[in-house]
Structure 1
Amino acid sequence: MRLPWFSRDTLVSWDGADGKNESYVEKLHPREVWMSPDGDKGWLIEAGERAGGEGGITLDDPGDLEPSLNGPSYDYLRTLPTDPGLLLKKIYDETGGMGSGPDQQAFSTIGDLLREQVVPPKLAAGLYRAAARIPGVVLVDDSVDAVGRHGVAIARTDEVDGARTEWIFDRETYTYLGERTVQTRDAEGIEAGTVRGRTAVTDRAVVDAVKQRPAGLGDAPPSA
């Protein structure tokens, strides 16, 4: 089993009683995800009510889902090309017609590949370089994740909703550190300048079973 440990806050939106969209950003809180290398077994624990309370919820695959670019497993990631040109071509070919446009979808897909999986180092570097080739993507020399670590980032603004997302990497190893999303214009009740979300991957480890934590992180709560 592979365990990514996150800290994150995200924007929560809903329709208020007056029909207007209302929103707030959650406080930074821990999130733990266990996934087997083949993606068939998994578990999620996240603070509060988001993931079934203290005990968490299963992420087991019912058997009819194959790993994909938008739902990868570690074994699947190992099959992807690490050359940035080939990698980007595959992403465009397989995600065409999705999302708010091919370029934004390609950028979002790279985030899906990075966010909750242990990524082989050569692939992580390939994803960073592939994302830099997407039209509208800019390089950010210094960005800060949710726990204050500095790194380099690739960023793109979604033309539809105005959200600017940064994928943040260690500047030496290209290890994925986290993400930061900021609203660039007033839209859907969200004011420009609002930080819509921040994350930091604070630990990644290989363990023997679901809900087992590495030494030093304490015991996970019993299964629900």
Structure 2
Amino acid sequence: MNDVDLVRDLRSEVRQSDPDTLYAARGRLLAAMTSPSPARRPRRMTRRMTRRMTLRLAGAGAVGLTLALGITVVQSFDGADIPAATASAPAWVPVAGVEHLAERATAASARTTDTYPRADQWLYTKSRIYVPGKEGTQEAGETQTHERWQRGDGAKMAIRHTSADADKGAPPVGPVTAGPVENSTGQRWAPAYLSSLPLDPAALKERLRQNGADRPDLPAARTLFQQVQQILQDGAPPPRLRAALYTVVSELEGVGLEENVRDLADREGVGIYLDSPDGTRHEIIVDPETYAYLGGRRLALGDGERTSQAAGGEVMAAWVQEARGIVDRAGDLP
């Protein structure tokens, strides 16, 4: 018997009382409370009755636990084998750590299909970037809006920059040619490249390691972290690849999670961070409910001292991803 039939069977054995019956029962209960009567000896339950009740209570408890924990049970009604259940915690349950966040993102994306632009289509992303003023000067920081169109085959790209302080409008959109994705470090976030990446975290991690071999000056963990950060920001990967990237980051040594982090657009999220020996922190900000990528920050923690409280660090740079979509032509908006 499956859980649904069990609940239906339990409910069917409870007689649905009409209002008159409930009113009469309430009167008898009040009368019994005011006039004492000799206690009745409880009925002895047979072994069969005890076993039946135990099984029903256990089944009802399993259904309740399933609903409370957000476990999705895939049930086969045609007599075929029942697949293993997949579990994902509800969004209101706090994220316990980076691995927990990656697991929840993976479960949430399990039934989706990643969509990429065709070779003749374009991936549109809109970002806002804060660049501070030069150190040691009175120059104020500047926030810029960057719009990018990347053709699906990775051969062309169009960019439009808009300064928040500029009086004039944005320059016209113009496609620029780019080299092949495989031979261009700067294009390792292009749709053609991202669609070729494996979704298995172990294979994905190895692929990213191979692509980061041209940065021997940086520790392996930092190289991988920065690769993932750039792919999330500039490539805007779909949910399944995004969850796999979170998993890769969660396995890096020294990675941590900071709650109640606000991005450049003042949206609240959780920060996946990695500290460097030079006293800087690189941070990926994720929505804890939808697991969407929000943006990132680079912080100066001060005197090379590592701390778990990023709120006290000085923001050296910040960026957010405001829009993503697939369009037919460069310059179009989703």
TM-score (norm 2): 0.53
TM-fit CA distance, 1:117: 1.6
The structure that is strand-richer by fraction is: 1
Match of 2:322 in 1: 202
- Structure 2 vs 1, CA of residues 25 and 126 (structure 1 numbering), >3 Å: closer, same or farther? farther
Q: 1:100 matched to which residue of 2?
A: 218
CA distance in structure 1 between the partners assigned to 2:287 and 2:298 by the alignment: 18
> 2:254, 2:140 → 1: CA distance?
27
Whichever structure has more helix as a proportion of its residues is: 2
Q: Which amino acid aligns with 1:173?
A: T
Q: CA deviation at 1:159?
A: 2.1
Partners of 1:23 and 1:103 lie apart in 2 by: 35
Question: Deviation at 1:63?
Answer: 5.4
Contact 1:158 1:164 (C-alpha < 8 Å) held by counterparts? yes
- RMSD over aligned CA atoms reads 2.9
Query: What residue in structure 1 maps to residue 149 of structure 2?
Result: 34
User: Counterparts of 1:63 and 1:150 in 2: how far apart (Å)?
Assistant: 37
Where does 1:76-91 land on structure 2 (aligned, <5 Å)? Answer: 76-91=193-208
Superimposed CA distance per residue, residues 115-146 of structure 1 (whole angstroms, 9 cap, x where no aligned partner): 11230210101111110111111122332211
Is 1:118 the counterpart of 2:202? The answer is: no
Look up the match of 1:127.
245
Aligned to 2:21: none
Q: Retained in 2: the 8 A contact 1:9–1:25?
A: no
Pair 1:134–1:95, CA change in 2 (3 A): same
Displacement of 1:149 in angstroms is: 1.2
Deviations 1:79-116 (A, max 9, x none): 21222222222222331361422111111111121111
**Structure 2 matches for 1:129-144, cutoff 5 A?**
129-144=247-262
Query: Distance in 1 between the 2:138 and 2:203 partners?
Result: 40
Q: Does residue 145 in structure 1 map to residue 263 in structure 2? A: yes
Counterpart of 1:158 in structure 2: which amino acid?
S
In 2, Cα distance between equivalents of 1:23 and 1:106: 35
Q: 1:25 to 1:205 in 2, by over 3 A?
A: farther
2:157 touches 2:175 (CA, 8 Å); kept in 1? yes
Which letter does structure 1 place at the counterpart of 2:212? T
- Whichever residue aligns with residue 83 of structure 1, its letter is D
What is the count of residue pairs matched by the alignment? 201
Deviations 1:165-207 (A, max 9, x none): 11112223322110111111258xxxx9321111111111111
The correspondence for 1:43, drawn from 153, 158, 162, is 158
User: What is the aligned-residue identity percentage?
Assistant: 23
| Residue identity opposite 1:133 in structure 2 | E
Partner Cα distance (2:138, 2:298) in 1: 15
Q: Give unmatched runs, 5+ long, in structure 2.
A: 1-121, 305-311
CA distance in 2, matches of 1:69, 1:54: 22
User: Is residue 67–residue 76 contact of structure 1 (8 Å, CA) maintained in 2?
Assistant: no
Bigger relative contact order, structure 1 or 2 (CA pairs below 8 A, ≥6 apart):
1
Match of residue 7 from structure 1: 128
By how many angstroms is 1:70 displaced?
Answer: 6.1
Larger Rg: 2
Distance 1:141 1:113 in 2: 23
State the TM-score, normalized to the length of structure 1. Answer: 0.77
Contact 2:173/2:331 (8 A) holds in 1: no
Q: Distance in 2 between matches of 1:151 and 1:184?
A: 20
